[in-house]
Amino acid sequence: MLRLTIVSVFLIAFCAALKNCNDLKKGQYICETPVIDAVTNKFTTCAEDNSISVKCKTIPGLKCRGKNDKTGEFIMKIENACRYNTHVKHVGALLLSVFLGVLGIDRFYLGHFTIGLFKLCSCGFFMLLYVADIIFIALKIITPADGSHYVVSHHEPHIASSTFLNETSMLLYNCFNCIR
């Protein structure tokens, strides 16, 4: 019975000592290049929290939690590596704002239904909100209501705003598979 207790304590201590594979340092793993869509030039695995998932492999002999023991691979989640977007195009929102913004159609397109109804009933709040919305949509200050980003084509400027939270880590991944 004493041997079983000693063995179980040893196994628990050994399993608890394993690091999570996502907490490994650079150089302890090698990742594949993430898949990029040829049409949109964006990552195909972009999630709603602006992270991407990449298949990685640890260096030989390194053990971590979350790794497939047969292949030695694990899925690494890289935070703030992409800009998640749905169906809302910036050019479409801007054109709707210029031509039908007095009626609030631009806000309906973006998903802001209450403000769109207000603009419809007040003729763009007597043209003040109409002009302000053209400027705000052109500068991408007003974004879709679901929290996603605009779909932007290749030749349009990309305006990136930084969001800093307690969990935010400023890790910029410029090169995948640079170390061979």
pLDDT digits (tens, 9 = 90+) for 58-77: 888 888 888 887 888 899 88
Token pair of 3 as six digits:
């041997």
Is the pLDDT at 102 greater than 80? The verdict is yes
Do residue 77 and residue 108 come from a single domain? no
Q: For residues 42 and 164, is the Cβ–Cβ distance under 8 A?
A: no
Do residue 92 and residue 28 come from a single domain? no
Number of helices (H), then strands (E), belonging to the chain: the values are 6, 5
Binned at pLDDT 50, 70 and 90, residue 93 comes out as: very high
Between 90 and 41, name the one with better pLDDT: 90
Number of folded domains that form the chain: 2
Do residue 58 and residue 8 come from a single domain? yes
Residue 58 lies in a domain: yes
Q: What is the mean pLDDT of the chain?
A: 80
* Sign for the pseudo-dihedral over CA of 131, 135, 141, 144: positive
Place of tokens 């694990």: 74
Q: What is the mean pLDDT of the segment spanning 20-44? A: 84
Between 124 and 113, name the one with better pLDDT: 113
Q: For residues 86 and 149, is the Cβ–Cβ distance under 8 A?
A: no
Residue 8 lies in a domain: yes
User: What was the pLDDT predicted at 59?
Assistant: 86
User: What was the pLDDT predicted at 106?
Assistant: 95
Q: Which of 74-83, 127-136, 156-165 ranks highest by mean pLDDT? A: 127-136
- Dump the DSSP string for 52-116: EEEEEEEPTT---BT--TTT-EEEEEETT-S--EEEEEHHHHHHHHHHHGGGTHHHHHHT-HHHH
The partner residues of 76 in beta bridges, in order of sequence, read 54
Token pair of 14 as six digits:
């050994």
Could you give the 3-state DSSP secondary structure of residue 161?
coil
Do residue 7 and residue 49 come from a single domain? yes
Do residue 61 and residue 8 come from a single domain? yes
Is the pLDDT at 179 greater than 80? The verdict is no
Do residue 46 and residue 68 come from a single domain? yes
Cα–chain center distance at 176:
17
Domain that holds residue 51: 2-83
Find the helix packing angle between 90-100 and 128-138, rounded to 10°.
160
Q: Which of 78-87, 152-161, 165-174 ranks highest by mean pLDDT? A: 78-87
Residue 174 lies in a domain: no
Binned at pLDDT 50, 70 and 90, residue 168 comes out as: very low
